[in-house]
Chains A and B, each alone.
Chain A
Amino acid sequence: MNTTGKTCQQNLIGEMGKRWVFLFLLLEFAYFSISASGYFSFDTVQMILFYGTEIFLLASAELFVIITGGIDLSVGYVLGFATVISSKLMVVFASLGISPIGCILISIVITLVIGLIPGFVNGVLVAKLRIPPFIATFSMLGITQGISELLMQGIPAKNLPILAGSIGNGYLLYIVPGQALSFFHRPDVPRGVRVYEIIPNVVVFAFLFIAVFAFILKRMRFGQHLYAIGGNIDAAARAGINVRKNLVAVYMLSSFFASLAGIIYVMKYITGKADAGAGFLLDAIAAVVIGGASMFGGSGTVWRTILGCFVIAVLETGLRMMGTPTFDKYILVGVILIFTVLIECFFSNFKK
């Protein structure tokens, strides 16, 4: 059971500590704005948001599970699985002569439904059969990877509707100063003319879902119950909360978010592959932990998790824009990751 003093999050994080991630983010941003030319711009922020969408979604997925004291290792490959399913479906429907928008919508819906299956299995394994989350989701990682590879047979999905790419890479608003202003549709301009693009579609899409679930987590019974389960599973059960049902739901939710990320991947890169999300897993968990959640469960919020994502994304982008050589970048990211949390811990101890 949670004993105080095991890790720093379990101590009450002081006010300063609570704000620290945000402060650190500002510091990071300020630093890179000074030292990397072109960093301080609207484009950079949009770029961070655009390329961060998958991680935002995966980190949210992971957060729900971590709040209940579990872990979901399968999110990365569930993402891959969803990319494979949706890209395959789009190709099939397109060949049936369905209109592009129809193809895309039907594929998305079917993928989201199929995407719930890995989560359901995980949830049943963890909640009903009491398999440690680590083993259940580790096994699911292999299963989804295998199924995706079998479906792909080493050939990336090709000939997806062009519309998918234009939605995925599109923006809400385009402005060509003095000439044109259009919604959703990029105006045709000669090479070299600057087009101002404002707010990528996929970011809006992702944040709609994240906001809804942030609301559910904070304001609704389901969210309250997740915290209770993570805080004291026995207390939750004795208070009459259906722990098992909630756990199954939470793993399905995690899987759902991973599938959403997969769909966004397909729309962005108009291709699908099994290992599409493999590289995101550790970053997603790290974002949750930087956002102040405890791996032992019971704490963490969506917005702080998003801040955690930003800490990583701003850092990565900043170092890239400064032109830090690859190896130094690895070292610096490591140092700064530790540094972020280290200071947060200092503050929380400080207050005590």
Chain B
Amino acid sequence: MRTSELSSRPGFTQTTIGRTVGRNWALFFLIFMVIVFAFTGSGFFEIANFQNIIHLSSTSILLAAAETFVIITGGIDLSVGFVMGLSSALAARIMVILSTTALPVPWIIILGSLAGLVISLIPGFISGTLVARFKVPPFIATMGMWGICNGITLRLCHGFFPIAGLPAALPELGNGYLIYIHPGKSITFFQKPEYLADNQIRELIRLIPFSFILITVVILILWFILHRHRFGQHTYAIGDNVDAAIRAGIDVNRHLVKIYMLSSFLAGLAGVYNVFQTGIGNYTTFSAMYELFAVAAVVIGGASLAGGKGRILGSFVGVLVLAVLKNGLAISGVEPFVRYIAVGVLLIVAVTIDQLFPDLF
């Protein structure tokens, strides 16, 4: 719903604490959940588990970040999931082709990844142009790209086969950790100690996954762009009031094209990273609904589909809210189907509390 008397609650929101809590309910809810799950699920409150959650959320985080920019402008990008599949499949395909040449492995990986990233700019350029220049509703423009990207991806996959046969170094990089500690025995960096036998693996402590570093860097850059750079200011301006933005001299069309290209590039990055994480080129299955989850995370993170609102860190928290909910409930031993219900109910409860009792904190 748009701003209106029905949803205004002046007074409280004018105080600093109120504003902080109101804007960050998702964060408070996240912290609250972590505390509760720490008691209900043995094995939840462990560094290894938090690392797992972040590690596996990294593609979702990238997709949500992509969606954030588009949603702030008042649009929606339904194609992120399939752009991710496209860049993943293309990167993998190029790597497979290059593997047959005498090229050294690092070059194969770099060239393949670059190809994946470059191709991901194209869908964004097209949907951006359609939305900005030809005033096609974002929903339809990106839904069209959804089908187009998927068709091309499946061609690259020769049907519904993930692309296998990639350099073995890929998953090692994608799933690697910065530090490996074998308590009382050794500390190694980048690689687990060689001497470890299979039955001793559980003793190893691993810290700081590479994915965490990637996510941190990307989030920091995007945060800077959105909140400290003119690009971000313009993005908000467009989402808030297109006419005002035009009158203020912002080249709205150009900016929108850039936004959709950025969104699609981040989806492409997610795709390329996915190749590193899984060691194969994955097409996106229809039931994945990545776009729906990305948009949900962004909205939970405080954005409005009407545009003009949204933050990168909010979206990051939004992804974690969903991920921690699922992980925590699973570890707490809640049955799978009950979990679907619980996720829905908890989300509703959290938003309701935020809306009903703004003075709670």
Interface residues in chain A, defined as those with a beta carbon under 8 Å from any beta carbon in chain B:
1, 3-9, 11, 69-71, 73, 125-126, 129-136, 138-143, 145-147, 149-150, 233-234, 237, 243-244, 275, 278-279, 282, 285-286, 289-290, 294-296, 326-335, 337-338, 340-342, 345-346, 349
Contacts and interface: CB of A to CB of B under 8 A. Distances in A.
A273 to B, nearest CB: 13
21 contacts: A4-B243, A70-B1, A131-B351, A132-B351, A138-B296, A138-B344, A139-B348, A142-B343, A146-B338, A147-B341, A149-B336, A233-B1, A295-B139, A328-B151, A337-B143, A337-B144, A337-B147, A338-B140, A338-B145, A341-B140, A342-B130
Contacts of B141: 338, 341
A143 B340 contact: yes
A289 B343 contact: no
Given A331-B151, A346-B134, A338 B295 contact: no
B137 interface: yes
Given A278-B287, A330-B150, A8 B355 contact: no
Contacts of A126: 1
Nearest to B154: A327
Contacts, number: 179
Contact of B352 (A3, A129, A138): A129
Given A8-B135, A233-B1, 15 more contacts: A3-B242, A136-B348, A138-B292, A142-B340, A142-B343, A147-B341, A234-B5, A286-B140, A289-B137, A289-B139, A331-B152, A332-B147, A334-B146, A337-B144, A342-B130
B345 interface: yes
Nearest to A1: B2
B356 interface: yes
Q: Which of A6, A335, A340 has the most CB of B within 10 A?
A: A6
A273 B344 CA distance: 19
Contacts of B146: 334
Contacts of B150: 330, 334
B147 A330 contact: yes
Given A69-B1, A138-B347, A146 B340 contact: yes
B195 interface: no
A334 B340 contact: no
Interface in B121-179: 130, 134-141, 143-152, 154-155
Given A3-B241, A7-B135, A342-B134, A326 B347 contact: no
A331 B74 contact: no
Given A8-B136, A338-B130, A132 B299 contact: yes
B9 to A, nearest CB: 9
A290 B144 CA distance: 12
B300 A135 contact: yes
Nearest to A235: B4
Contact of B344 (A132, A139, A286, A331): A139
B78 interface: yes
Ranked 5 nearest A-B pairs via Cβ: A334-B147, A146-B340, A331-B151, A146-B341, A8-B135
Contact of B295 (A129, A134, A150, A341): A134
A338 B144 contact: yes
A146 B337 contact: yes
B248 interface: no
A326 B135 CA distance: 29
B286 interface: yes
B337 A149 contact: yes
Contact of B286 (A125, A279, A290, A345): A279
B182 interface: no
A50 B138 CA distance: 30
A136 B354 CA distance: 13
A333 B147 contact: yes
B344 A131 contact: no
Contact of A286 (B139, B292, B306): B139
B304 interface: yes
